Structure 1
């Protein structure tokens, strides 16, 4: 039987691309708890996200962690095969890795739903990674599809997620919701895969773990890459670096935000000293998200949990580091 005392107040903020039309207005009693923030192009995404997070912190004196559940919905198109980029409009793309700073301070009892094709991999981990590494409380649960999700399916998932949150934020309950889709043969047949929904958990792990092998782009085995150069892309702040594989000598390009560079996210080449990082070796599993070198000049890859390594020879043995290379003090080597 319906028990009104179990229903939590849900404060929802939706960050959406302008070409996504609202499907309806919230109920009158919940209008103050819901807000939409639209963006068009990468320059508008950050401010919209900032406004959404501010809304979730709330202004009402009676708000508390006990009676409010916070829901952040990011609604956009996903870039095909990458599983890492939103299509921002205006011919631009957005990598969530470049917005890690926006997720450093978040309200308690927060769930993030990525209404995005392939939304759960891999850059969505940036929403929990910075908080987990600092040991802070209030780490959100991030839920997203692992497929080119149909609009009606995504709307149904979001509606069921909201009903689940009426009883409070429960990782067990959200896992159970994921299972209703992942274990349903009808959905598996629809998408031709085994997993439909994935969850970035508050401890930094991914659920279900077996879904790590079902990405928009397959995860390649760990390789060692040499940093060859840094370059800007289309005049934007998201600087990229060119990496050369020590295994096959192929050159790739990836966002500098993927690297463990202390204090640097959106790097300005006019202010950032690249010399200490030149010819450094990075070890990482990776995804090839763009096979064609035409758009960026190189094959585009995304690194998964990269680490600066001691220099290695082509056979993988540790090589001698030239004393001329200035290793940053904050660097950690394995």
Structure 2
């Protein structure tokens, strides 16, 4: 059964009516096919109207949709011969980050992805997509390995942020994230990052300081979650919708600000309605972004990447 968000209630009612008509035992007698067709057209118009004017908070809800394709879906749909590698060679394995070599459209690549999980068991296994320090150290190890063997890097980001527990802080969470960002900037190979759901805080940018940053149409990317921002500024998490508006978390805002490079369209109603189509669309975007980078020398890649991130936030002197 499809999960509907609160603002999708009008569509949910129409689709429930369509399903009810389809289950009728003798549809031909009541000319139900025509009615189903009319209701389907109406539902599509309603969905198009809703998704054509989503607020930042509504986009946040879509980005967190439980049926939205996760990192594992991206790997399954885009990467062949994927071989996950484990451990940071210092402390432990962290299941929130999945990483290893594979092939994208037949070419060898290194994949680094943050996995949230799709049901309770997998969410617990992957710590709800919140990596610990060893996860970021594993990611850094993969970036360095990719540089050694000349493998382009593809990263898939979907996290509300790094794990904030005391044990993570004790093992150097901030240092692990900082070194991860440094490794991204120093990578001598093409690097494409995609925000597929949530891109939260330094926990996201640790594997997203890339040559090209792609972002799904209804994903979000921010320094903190809207709820966290609301708790700090207003001491009231209920102000999250206002925080989302002020923070400019949407792909459209971030493209305009120059934080991301390209918006990847989603199927009507969000990636969760047609996951296979959404994954295929992302594959095309990655291939397009990767092609010109393959011809660049390592030093040119590094220099251009660093210039890109240093330029963010600069303002003209009046």
TM-score with structure 1 setting the length: 0.28
Higher helix share: 2
RCO higher in 1 or 2 (8 Å CA, sep ≥ 6)? 2
Q: Give 1 or 2: higher strand fraction.
A: 1
